[in-house]
Amino acid sequence: MATVTLAATEQGEGPPVVILHGLFGSAQNWGTVAKRLAATHRMIAADLRNHGSSPHTAAMDYPAMAADVAALIEARADGRAAVIGHSMGGKVAMWLALTRPELVERLVVVDVAPVSYRPALQAYAAAMRALPLRAGMRRAEADAALAPAIADPGERAFLLQNLQFDAAGAPAWRLNLAAIEPAVPVISAFPDPPAGARYAGPALIVSGERSGYVRAEHHPTVLGLFPRAAFVVVPGAGHWVHAEAPEPFLRAVAPFLAMPG
């Protein structure tokens, strides 16, 4: 399987922790949390393939994305690291832990379960691809153009972080939307793990109280694959737990990272 070399930022010293963002995100979404955890850990925040500053490629499935992260851990974390993943990044982290457990010292999965979801975000990718980009375009114009398809202003602001504006030319997406849009059904699902696959290391599943991504009926599936998993619900938070409630999120995650294995 061909891997790509992921762009990643590092800060802090101590045991390595790799952070993986969700769909349409990037390492910069984790700036606040990474900075705080860098007081005790070497934080490596990666841009997954087709996102941020990482290379673009046609393949966009969990085995491919996990292989990229495996190469990152081998190259920059001496072959073993704690891994934190949100949403799509959480599924990448889970697949990595199930297939390359020797690389994952412990696992934090943020607001996602190893199950299939409805591919609702395909419409977002389609709307972004359809945005008529032109020289001199301003962010407010792009926001207004996306509004009919994406009603929530906060979600539009999050997506538009990926649009790079250039005074000399038309803005351009950092995302490889041509690969992402058709892959959304694959990203929304979760592949069948290899027969007998289990991750025996410590695992923490952090979900938002207002999010429906991790439900009680998912717990048996999680525990079947991650038998040492513990579940934490952050009060008042939605799907972007770490951004909406950074302090409660850190209160859950920091002690878990510090615990003996």
Mean pLDDT of the residues in the chain:
96
CATH number of the domain bearing residue 238: 3.40.50.1820
Across the chain, which has 261 residues, the per-10-residue mean pLDDT values are 94 98 96 96 98 97 98 97 98 98 98 96 93 91 94 92 86 96 97 96 98 97 98 96 96 96 75
Burial (0-12, 13-18, 19+ Cβ within 10 Å), 166: exposed
For residue range 115-154, what is the model confidence (pLDDT) as tens digits?
A: 999 998 899 999 999 999 988 899 999 999 999 999 999 9
On whether the CB atoms of residues 183 and 60 are closer than 8 A, the answer is yes
Task: State which residues form the domain around 144.
Answer: 122-184
CA angle, residues 69, 70, 75, in degrees to nearest 5:
95
User: How many Å separate Cα 172 from the centre of its chain?
Assistant: 22
Whether 93 and 12 map to the same domain: the answer is yes
* pLDDT value of position 126: 94
Which residue matches tokens 């081998």?
74
Is 107 a domain residue?
Answer: yes
Whether 217 and 112 map to the same domain: the answer is yes
For residue range 51-78, what is the model confidence (pLDDT) as tens digits?
A: 999 999 999 999 999 999 999 999 999 9
Measured CA to CA, the distance from residue 170 to residue 163 in angstroms comes to 10
Q: How many domains does the chain have?
A: 2
Is 189 a domain residue?
Answer: no
Whether 126 and 254 map to the same domain: the answer is no
Whether 152 and 250 map to the same domain: the answer is no
* pLDDT value of position 47: 98
Whether 57 and 142 map to the same domain: the answer is no
Based on its alpha-carbon atoms, the radius of gyration of the chain, rounded to whole angstroms, reads 18
Whether 29 and 102 map to the same domain: the answer is yes
Residue that is last in its domain, among 157, 184, 211: 184
